[in-house]
């Protein structure tokens, strides 16, 4: 199984809502990532988890809160988002973080903040 | 972290061979070169990776000259379904990779 799954596929939320994005992989990978991608732009790294510990936070606003409950799951908790946070949120995983590791990406969650 | 430069867009026709070149003048000794493909509203997909000379798989070939300051992704006999954005990435610093602007490849019938 070389698949990374993400739920939901689409999400519409108001600026006062709290929601969560979920990501799952069963490839035994020990590194997991969150990216944000705006239309016609490249993916931008947000967070990296290595062995279930947060290893990189690319100065992401605190309204985005990542969580890695176990080696297969990665969540992104959303609270008090702004309309400019509307984007495609991508999850990825790799065998380990660092080095030329191939990342496997999920299909993404399309988020619209009203 | 080595910065990459690619053409913003390219057009080609079905059945043609397409070559996309990426410049990475500041590549470090331990850096690898990796290419990803992304279709609209999907996550990027790994295509190929190499360190030097030539690498070939069932999808593409990657040519890397001796100085490693550039690389060329070669897609043989493209079809309409190869229309996508192609990203060249070089190395990783710590635990992160950084996507450049990519090349939008448009295949025409």
| pLDDT at residue B33 greater than cutoff 70 | yes
Contacts of A104 in chain B (CB under 8 A): 46
A103, A56, A62, A112: which is closest to A84 by C-alpha?
A112
Residues facing residue A32 across a β-bridge: A49, A93
Distance CA B73, CA B102 (A): 12
Q: In three state form, how does the secondary structure of A65-108 look?
A: EEEEEECCEEEEEEECCCHHHCEEEEEEEECCCCCCCCCEECCC
Q: What is the pLDDT of residues B75-107, one digit of tens each?
A: 999 999 999 999 999 876 555 678 889 999 999
Q: What is the pLDDT of residues A56-81, one digit of tens each?
A: 888 899 999 999 999 999 999 999 99
Judge contact between B36 and B47, C-beta under 8 A: yes
Rounded to an integer, the average pLDDT of A76-88 is 96
DSSP code of B96? B
A112, A111, A84, A93: which is closest to A21 by C-alpha?
A111
Distance CA A13, CA A47 (A): 22
Q: Min CA distance, A35 vs chain B (Å)?
A: 10
Contacts of B102 in chain A (CB under 8 A): 42
Distance CA B82, CA B77 (A): 10
B72 part of contact set with chain A, CB < 8 Å: no
Determine whether the interchain pair B43/A92 forms a contact, defined as Cβ–Cβ distance below 8 Å: yes
Looking at every residue in chain A, the average pLDDT score rounds to 93
Cis before A8 (ω within 30): yes
Judge contact between A86 and A113, C-beta under 8 A: yes
Query: Between A34 and A57, where is the model more confident?
Result: A34
At which residue do the structure tokens 């176990």 appear?
A: A70
Q: What is the pLDDT of residues B4-30, one digit of tens each?
A: 999 999 999 999 999 999 999 988 888
**Which of B34, B44, B94 lies closest to A56 in CB terms?**
B94
B50 part of contact set with chain A, CB < 8 Å: no
Structure tokens at A16: 């006062």
């Amino acid at each position: 199984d070389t698949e990374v799954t993400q739920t939901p596929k689409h999400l519409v939320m108001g600026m006062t809502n709290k929601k969560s994005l979920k990501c799952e992989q069963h490839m035994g990978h020990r590194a997991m990532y969150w990216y944000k991608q705006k239309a016609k732009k490249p993916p931008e790294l947000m967070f990296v988890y290595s062995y279930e510990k947060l290893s990189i936070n690319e100065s992401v606003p605190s309204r985005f809160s990542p969580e890695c409950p176990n080696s297969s799951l990665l969540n992104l908790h959303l609270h008090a988002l702004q309309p400019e946070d509307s984007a495609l949120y991508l999850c990825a995983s790799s065998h380990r973080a660092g080095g030329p590791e191939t990342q496997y990406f999920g299909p993404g969650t399309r988020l619209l903040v009203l | 972290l080595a910065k990459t430069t690619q053409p913003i867009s390219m057009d080609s026709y079905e059945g043609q061979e397409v070559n996309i070149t990426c410049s990475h003048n500041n590549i470090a000794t331990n850096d690898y070169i990796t290419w990803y493909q992304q279709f609209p509203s999907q996550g990027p997909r790994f295509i190929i990776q190499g360190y030097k000379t030539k690498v070939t798989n069932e999808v593409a070939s990657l040519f890397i000259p001796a100085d490693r300051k550039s690389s060329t992704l070669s897609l043989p006999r493209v079809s309409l379904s190869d229309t996508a954005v192609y990203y060249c990435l070089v190395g990783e610093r710590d635990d992160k990779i950084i996507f450049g602007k990519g090349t939008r490849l448009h295949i025409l019938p």
